[in-house]
């Protein structure tokens, strides 16, 4: 399964959202994004997912990291992109909470397995870009 994630940064913090309890990986936190549909490009998919899940328009600024992970019942290829909000009004459609977290806070958050793998790479950066 190919999925994308938005690393939306502002003032040294990244946007993270909490999954609802009734969904797979319920109550875990994630960088928002989702599955790439057949015939869809990675960046196109990410823009669509953020619009559907958060009612936000984003600009994709570039790939940060690709991580592949084998789960017990599926394989996942996660493509994490640096993004900036360029429009819309935040509404939680697919999540129950959100926060802006710095690297110290990110290390304490209970993330989905795939998103957790991004934390060491984020931690190695001198800071998060503001676009």
What CATH number is attached to the domain comprising 21?
Answer: 3.90.79.10
Number of domains in the chain: 1
- Quick: pLDDT tens for 36-63: 999 999 999 999 999 999 999 999 999 9
Of 1-10, 35-44, 66-75, 95-104, give the lowest mean pLDDT range. 66-75
The 8 Å CB, 24+ separation contacts for 24-28 are 25/112, 27/110, 28/110, 28/111, 28/112
Task: Please check whether residue 130 lies inside any domain of the structure.
Answer: no
Task: Please check whether residue 128 lies inside any domain of the structure.
Answer: no
Token couple for 54: 């958060």
Q: Indicate yes or no: pTM above 0.75.
A: yes
Q: Cα dist. 44→72, 110, 111, 127 in Å?
A: 28, 28, 24, 26
Task: Please check whether residue 129 lies inside any domain of the structure.
Answer: no
Task: Please check whether residue 14 lies inside any domain of the structure.
Answer: yes
CA distance 113 to 99: 19
Task: Please check whether residue 42 lies inside any domain of the structure.
Answer: yes
Q: Do strands 75-88 and 2-10 pair parallel, antiparallel, or not at all (unpaired)? A: parallel
Q: Place 73 in a pLDDT band, splitting at 50, 70 and 90.
A: confident
In this prediction, what percent of the chain has a pLDDT beyond 90? 88
Task: Please check whether residue 80 lies inside any domain of the structure.
Answer: yes
- Quick: pLDDT tens for 14-26: 999 999 999 988 9
Quote the domain boundaries for residue 8: 2-123
């Amino acid at each position: 399964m190919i999925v994308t994630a938005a690393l939306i940064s502002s003032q040294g913090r990244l946007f993270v959202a909490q999954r609802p309890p009734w969904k797979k990986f319920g109550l875990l936190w994630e960088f928002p994004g989702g599955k790439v549909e057949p015939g869809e490009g990675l960046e196109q998919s990410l823009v669509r997912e953020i619009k559907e899940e958060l009612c936000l328009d984003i600009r994709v600024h570039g790939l940060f990291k690709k991580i592949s992970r084998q789960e017990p019942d599926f394989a996942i290829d996660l493509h994490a992109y640096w993004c900036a909000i360029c429009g819309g009004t935040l509404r939680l459609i697919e999540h129950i909470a959100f926060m802006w977290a710095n690297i110290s806070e990110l290390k304490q958050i209970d993330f989905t397995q795939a998103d957790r793998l991004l934390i060491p790479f984020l931690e190695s950066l001198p800071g998060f870009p503001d676009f």
